[in-house]
């Protein structure tokens, strides 16, 4: 993976637009200009994004590091998260004289910047899920973005208001933050499904929670399969392979097999019998399964930290982009979305 591959894929995707074929040479020049010349000029600029975290009214937590911080707001009665990310989200109008080309580049870097500040927010959300078993979301009621090119006042004020005191839970929370790297798309996606499984269980959607939990495990299996460059194989053939990489705790493989069985028999497909009685029959099993899922999630986070490919706090964002642009492209762009049947009028 590299810039040339990213550029070819991005241009091929844009070329599908009507009348875009004649614009390809200009698009290539503009994209090269954006990545090779414009991004390095923004390395000393940053955007500070502040959002509140949903379902966090009881979480009196705090954390401060240069790019990621949080504090509890008594006014909002929620956890407020501040993130520092590169200044990529706007200012691309003059990258080309063709407005169509400028718009496409602007859109891509908007989503690339979003992936970064969301990644930091997801580190917080993942740490909350593992510390408290609570599912949260970054789509709260508060969102503001400050360009720090002109003033650091908003960043400094937020940072200075973070308490220095720590509870025992806060220390555990920060230990999880230390190992979570949501810039890795497999970590990002795994945490999405794990947090979703917690939220669904809380709302008594147990069958759906099982499906989400199994998705989290499947993402881990996909990550190991990609890392080892393995061919497509059945789920049952992957357990030992994944175990060799991340080292499952004793008895976990059996619980993961139970999870997959429940997913196949009750939640991913219509049940053959006892569909009204799923929770009553499997309540204790589900509790044990979810404990095993959590242990595997933590094991995979530790595995990623030991074998980290994507720096979560780079010293130079333009170099970081050059190294990981194809990964970002696959995570944020629209080329992998299914095309739905269009209504015929």
Which residues does 159 contact at the CB level (< 8 Å), separation at least 6? 64, 69, 82
- Write the burial class of residue 295 (CB in 10 Å: 0-12 exposed, 13-18 middle, 19+ buried): middle
Q: pLDDT tens across 226-244, in order?
A: 999 999 889 999 999 999 9
CATH class name, domain 184-309: mainly alpha
Q: For the chain, give the mean pLDDT.
A: 95
Task: Confirm if 30 and 105 have CB atoms less than 8 A apart.
Answer: yes
Q: Quick one: what percent of the chain has pLDDT higher than 70? A: 99
**pLDDT over 80 (residue 342):** no
Work out the average pLDDT over 53-71. Answer: 95
**pLDDT over 90 (residue 45):** yes
- Copy the structure tokens of residue 227: 């890392």
Work out the average pLDDT over 101-124. Answer: 97
Place of tokens 């910047």: 113
Work out the average pLDDT over 32-59. Answer: 97
Confidence at residue 20, expressed as pLDDT on a 0 to 100 scale: 87
CB atoms within 10 A of CB 330: 14
CB atoms within 10 A of CB 245: 16
- Copy the structure tokens of residue 33: 């200009």
Residues of the chain with CATH 1.20.120.330: 184-309
Task: Confirm if 82 and 89 have CB atoms less than 8 A apart.
Answer: no
What is the number of residues in the chain?
Answer: 345
Q: pLDDT tens across 293-323, in order?
A: 999 999 999 999 999 999 999 999 999 999 9
Cut 0.75: pTM above it: yes
* Three-state DSSP state, 85: strand
Beta strand pairing call for 63-64 and 78-86: unpaired
Work out the average pLDDT over 138-157. Answer: 91
Confidence at residue 344, expressed as pLDDT on a 0 to 100 scale: 57
Q: Quick one: what percent of the chain has pLDDT higher than 90? A: 91
Confidence at residue 340, expressed as pLDDT on a 0 to 100 scale: 84
Task: Confirm if 278 and 206 have CB atoms less than 8 A apart.
Answer: yes
């Amino acid at each position: 993976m590299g810039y040339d591959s990213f550029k070819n894929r991005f241009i091929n995707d844009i070329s599908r637009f009507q009348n875009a074929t004649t614009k390809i040479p200009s698009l290539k020049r503009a994209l090269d200009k954006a990545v090779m010349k414009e991004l390095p000029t923004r390395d000393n600029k940053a955007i500070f994004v502040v959002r509140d975290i949903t379902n966090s009214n009881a979480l009196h937590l705090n954390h401060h590091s240069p790019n990621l911080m949080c504090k509890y707001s008594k006014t909002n009665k929620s956890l407020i998260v501040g993130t520092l990310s590169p200044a990529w989200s706007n200012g691309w109008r003059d990258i080309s004289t063709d407005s169509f080309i400028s718009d496409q580049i602007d859109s891509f870097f908007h989503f690339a910047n979003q992936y970064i500040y969301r990644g930091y927010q997801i580190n917080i959300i993942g740490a909350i899920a593992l510390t408290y078993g609570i599912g949260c979301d970054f789509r709260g009621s508060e969102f503001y973005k400050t360009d720090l090119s002109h003033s650091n006042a908003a960043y400094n004020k937020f940072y200075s208001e973070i308490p220095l005191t720590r509870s025992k839970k806060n220390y555990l929370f920060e230990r999880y933050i230390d190992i979570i790297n949501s810039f890795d798309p497999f970590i990002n996606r795994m945490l999405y499904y794990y947090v979703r499984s917690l939220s669904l269980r809380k709302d008594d959607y147990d069958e759906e929670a099982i499906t989400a939990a199994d998705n989290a495990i499947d993402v881990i299996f996909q990550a190991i399969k990609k890392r080892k460059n393995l061919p497509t194989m059945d789920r049952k053939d992957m357990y030992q392979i994944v175990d060799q990489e991340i080292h499952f705790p004793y008895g976990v493989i059996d619980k993961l097999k139970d999870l997959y069985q429940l997913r196949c028999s009750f939640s991913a497909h219509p049940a053959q019998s006892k569909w009204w009685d799923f929770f009553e029959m499997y309540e204790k099993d589900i509790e044990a399964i979810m404990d095993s899922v959590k242990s595997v999630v933590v094991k995979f986070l530790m595995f990623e930290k030991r074998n980290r490919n994507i720096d979560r706090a780079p010293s130079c964002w333009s170099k970081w982009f050059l190294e990981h642009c194809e990964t970002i492209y696959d995570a944020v762009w629209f080329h992998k979305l299914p095309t739905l049947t269009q209504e015929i009028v």
